[in-house]
Amino acid sequence: MVTRPAALARLAVAAGLLLPLAGCGAEPQVDDLRNLVRPGSPNNYLICRSGLCAATADEDGPFYDLAPERLLETVRRVAAAQPNTVAAGEDAALSQLVFVQRTRWLRFPDMIRVQTIKTPDGRTALALYSQSVYGYYDFGVNKTRVRTWLQAIKAELGK
């Protein structure tokens, strides 16, 4: 038998009103963005340098004349300054960080994966992927987020 408070809590969770702050209900899956398979829904946005990711990117990603570790430290600082954002995972072997950022009004979780990719010419490419955990449409939130983060990274590096 489901009690009334439990039923209301389930309804609130389903409506996105009572979601845990740190996570999104499951451990984040850290996958190599170079092998990303994108969903058919429009609630995600990928920036990756042409030829480095198997999935078609929405925009070409930038190159940096930095060590991957230094670029990831910059990403950590940028993410820490973003509202409603927490670190959710890391894979040192992939040079990838995972964050969860809650949407402003309904606090839905979105997942952001940032990966550095060392290129043969010694530069570091940045791949950034933002995806809504719930829903089909995102009304441009992921695109805006990715561009905001890229601008903040650029500002942090003084370029």
3-state SS assignment for residue 67? coil
Q: What is the mean pLDDT of each run of 10 residues along the chain (159 residues)?
A: 42 43 48 95 96 97 95 98 97 97 90 96 96 94 97 92
Contact 75, 153 (CB under 8 A): yes
- Between CA 116 and CA 24 the distance in angstroms is 24
Q: Which pLDDT does position 20 carry in this prediction? A: 42
- Domain range for 104 is 22-157
Contact 109, 99 (CB under 8 A): no
Q: Which pLDDT does position 105 carry in this prediction? A: 83
Q: Which pLDDT does position 22 carry in this prediction? A: 42
Q: Is residue 5 part of a domain?
A: no
Q: Is residue 16 part of a domain?
A: no
CATH of the domain at 49: 3.30.310.80
Q: Is residue 2 part of a domain?
A: no
Q: Is residue 10 part of a domain?
A: no
Q: Is residue 13 part of a domain?
A: no
Q: Is residue 17 part of a domain?
A: no
- Between CA 71 and CA 133 the distance in angstroms is 26
Tally the domains of the chain. Answer: 1
Q: Is residue 1 part of a domain?
A: no
Contact 113, 23 (CB under 8 A): no
Is residue 8 within a helix (H) or strand (E), and if so which, with residue range? Answer: helix 4-14
Whether pTM exceeds 0.85:
no
Q: Is residue 42 part of a domain?
A: yes
